[in-house]
Amino acid sequence: MARNQTQFQKGLSLTQLLSKYGTKEQCHHALYKWRWPDGFVCPHCGHTHCCEISTRQLYQCSSCHHQTSVISGTIFAATKLPLRTWFLGIYLVTQPKNGISALELMRQLGITYNAVWRMKHKLMQVMKERDDSKPLAGNIQLDDAYWGGERQGGKRGRGAPGKSPFIAAVATNEQGHPTAMRLTRINGFRKETIAQWAQKHLDATCVVVSDGLNCFPGVKAAGCVHEAIVTGGGPSSVNLEAFTWINTMIGNVKNSIHGSYHAINERHLPRYLAEFCYRFNRRYKLEDMIPRLGYVAVRTPPMPNRLLKLAEVWG
């Protein structure tokens, strides 16, 4: 096939979105199915019978009388936005390849910038937690990468001041095609940091290729096989086949974030990186984005404003 199958997939049209999730009732029903696929379960005691207080869309447990709703205890908790607005937001955030800025989202949804910012960051948090819970497997290309700094005339390269370091990892299959990627903000490239990161983010069966930076053998702490290819730096090293994908992906994520957001608050870099990875990792299934993200969102705990605005710790 000459056409790129990822780019030419149909995805979910706006018309389909509105016919599936265009009303409050449809959104409520969808959240209910994602939260309780096998029927109601009391989040307090686990009992499976409830009576519905339909005027307030609350469910009262028949055993412990705890009252709950489809959104309480989830990332949607305490929202003042209509559920339809959330669904439209999820659509607009997940469908375009390069994401959508909070400003653009504000225009499209017709809500305040603050409300849109909170929605966007909550959705990005869901994406981050989801991907962070799934270790990468297969052959891994690993590299050190840096966000920011370039435009202030600072020195280039490793460890330059003003740059935010992040680990870049791409998993490839036997044909050498990328299957998944993970970008994780860290405080610096030390062996212990890489070891901790690998224990969380890599399957023990991974075969990891990196350059000769002396922190990378840290991946062995996770049981992985590590191979260092000493490139000696310089432009020719970029062309090494072993690092083709990792170099491409680092370039893509930087272009994507620069292009869509112009400037981002570096405190929140981990979420922006996670958002890019989440869409990349599911790029063949654009149509399923809404149910998949929705399913995870009702399993993601609430994120109070205070936490949303804090600088994120790596991990």
Interacting residues toward Zn ion by CB under 5 A: 42, 44-45, 47, 61, 63-64, 66
Nearest residue (CB) to Zn ion, 33 versus 47: 47
Closest CA to 71 of 304, 307, 300: 300
The residues, any chain, with a CB within 8 Å of residue 149's CB and separated by 6 or more, are 160, 161, 162, 163
d(CA 246, CA 224): 18
Q: How far apart are CA 99 and CA 243, in angstroms?
A: 26
Comparison of 28 and 44: residue with beta carbon closer to Zn ion: 44
Least distance between Zn ion and beta carbon 48 (Å): 9
Nearer to Zn ion by Cβ, of 64 and 229: the residue is 64
Based on CB atoms, which residue is closest to Zn ion, 44 or 258?
Answer: 44
Q: How far is the CB of 295 from Zn ion (least distance, A)?
A: 23
Rounded to a whole number of angstroms, the minimum distance from the CB of residue 46 to Zn ion is 7
Q: Distance between CA 101 and CA 67 in Å, rounded?
A: 36
Residues in the chain: 315
User: What does the alpha-carbon distance between residue 194 and residue 22 come to, in Å, rounded to a whole number?
Assistant: 45
To Zn ion, the closest distance from the beta carbon of 51 in angstroms equals 12
Taking the least distance from each CB to Zn ion, the nearer of 23 and 63 is 63
Q: What's the min distance (Å) between Cβ of 175 and Zn ion?
A: 50
CB of 110 to Zn ion, least distance (A): 38
Nearer Cβ to Zn ion (45/311)? 45
Rounded alpha-carbon distances, angstroms, from residue 254 to 19, 39, 97, 262:
35, 43, 13, 10
Centre a 10 Å sphere on the Cβ of residue 272 and count the other Cβ atoms it contains. 24
- Nearest by Cα to 189 from 224, 165, 171: 165
